Amino acid sequence: MDNQLRLDHPSFWGQLLMVGIPGPGVDAVARELVRDLKVGGVILFARNIETPEQVWELTRDLQQEARAATGRPLLLAVDQEGGKVQRLKAPFTLIPPARELGITRTPEEVELISRQVARELTLVGINVNLAPVLDVPRSPACPQWHRAYSSDPERAARYALAAIRGYVSGGVIPVAKHFPGLGDTMADSHEVLPLALSGDAQREADLLPFRAAVAAGVPMVMTAHLAVPEWEERPATLSPVALQVWLRRRLGFNGVIITDDLEMGGISTKLTAPQGAKAALVAGADLLLICNNWQAAWETARLLAADASLAKRGREAAGRLQLLRESLRPQIAELKAVQEYFARRS
């Protein structure tokens, strides 16, 4: 249905956006984003989460709005990595930091934990987990140190693949991040644009886990706001070299490329979210992530709709997202099942 929309209309381009919404319910802003802009996905943060029952109701209501507007379900995402980066707190399963898992647990145990987390996410209607992290941090000075499984590329790959298997078997779409690897950085892309410091144009250590994940069929990959001088000066999120030459051609990835949040400092110090979104789309990204400013989502869609040269790229991205959204399972859990499950965990 979405692809029948006119390319010069913002709602065609809305399907390429994953956005944050203001609060724990479907208010006027959330309804407008889903019903009128026809966004392809919604990402949930602490501001959207109160109890398992409330999350179930929120996702149910969002999906009802989406199906009425487009005939297709939304991608409903959350960052549930573990450690400091997990939006859903108790009574949901709490995940240790990836670094701790890589030291104290086996890949088989990580797969089991990931499956358990995925089942809880699906129970409350969340179908995408923005995890696992595939970065290979070189030292504790790297901001990704605690979020990554290991500083050994092969070990990091084994644990990441185990997590991916667990999420998939539990019914959730996993997202391998952050391509092409933030492990050789010393700055935080939330604040500034980090520089890749390894000097390796082939990025062998950093790309090994991504090669393994792509070979294993991971359906989504998230970009990093990272400058690789050996490739080009633009951040990987905005770089055709990173996304088209390396991720698509050399690694052979055919799934959905999602950007990291376009409001992060790694992009926003130079470009507005709409400008960054346009550059990311041109570079090869399919799903454009805007986590906080819902007005920027509308501005992005209008900016894309005004540029006829984006038609081919827009149709390509929309096609990939359509296939992914059509593959989603409908929410089948009853509220009573949610209440009973989490009552046992309390």
Indicate which residue of 2, 184, 260, 286 is catalytic.
260
The pLDDT tens digits for 134-168 are: 999 999 999 999 999 999 999 999 999 999 999 99
Q: Which residue has the tokens 């309804």?
A: 31
* Residue at 1 is within a domain: no
CATH of the domain at 289: 3.20.20.300
Taking all residues of the chain, what is their mean pLDDT, rounded to a whole number?
A: 96
Those residues with Cβ within 8 angstroms of residue 74's Cβ, 6 or more apart along the chain or in another chain: 34, 39, 40, 41, 42, 62, 63, 66, 325
The confidence score (pLDDT) of residue 51 equals 97
The confidence score (pLDDT) of residue 6 equals 83
* Residue at 50 is within a domain: yes
* Residue at 3 is within a domain: no
* Residue at 4 is within a domain: no
Average pLDDT on 52-81 reads: 96
Which phi-psi region, left, alpha or beta, contains residue 18 (left: φ > 0; alpha: ψ -120 to 50)?
beta
Helix, strand, coil shares of the chain, percent, nearest 5, are: 50, 10, 40
- Cβ(283)–Cβ(269) below 8 Å: no
Alpha-carbon dihedral angle through residues 35, 58, 296, 85, given to the nearest 10 degrees: -150
The confidence score (pLDDT) of residue 9 equals 87
Indicate which residue of 61, 152, 190, 200 is catalytic.
190
The reply to whether 9 belongs to the active site is no
- The conformation of residue 275, written as its DSSP 8-state character, comes to H
* Residue at 322 is within a domain: yes
* Residue at 319 is within a domain: yes
Is 320's pLDDT higher than 70?
Answer: yes
Which of 211, 213, 185, 207 is CA-nearest to residue 198?
A: 185
Average pLDDT on 263-278 reads: 98
The pLDDT tens digits for 203-212 are: 999 999 999 9
Which phi-psi region, left, alpha or beta, contains residue 333 (left: φ > 0; alpha: ψ -120 to 50)?
beta
The confidence score (pLDDT) of residue 1 equals 41
- Cβ(311)–Cβ(317) below 8 Å: no
The pLDDT tens digits for 333-344 are: 899 999 999 999
The confidence score (pLDDT) of residue 2 equals 44
* Residue at 61 is within a domain: yes
Which of 345, 325, 334, 287 is CA-nearest to residue 67?
A: 325
Query: How many whole angstroms separate alpha carbon 160 and alpha carbon 148?
Result: 9
Provide the domain count of the chain: 1
The reply to whether 260 belongs to the active site is yes
The confidence score (pLDDT) of residue 132 equals 98
* Residue at 5 is within a domain: no
Owning domain of residue 19: 10-345
> What is the enclosing helix (H) or strand (E) of 110?
helix 107-123
Query: How many whole angstroms separate alpha carbon 333 and alpha carbon 346?
Result: 19
Confidence band of 332 (pLDDT split at 50, 70, 90): confident
The confidence score (pLDDT) of residue 3 equals 43
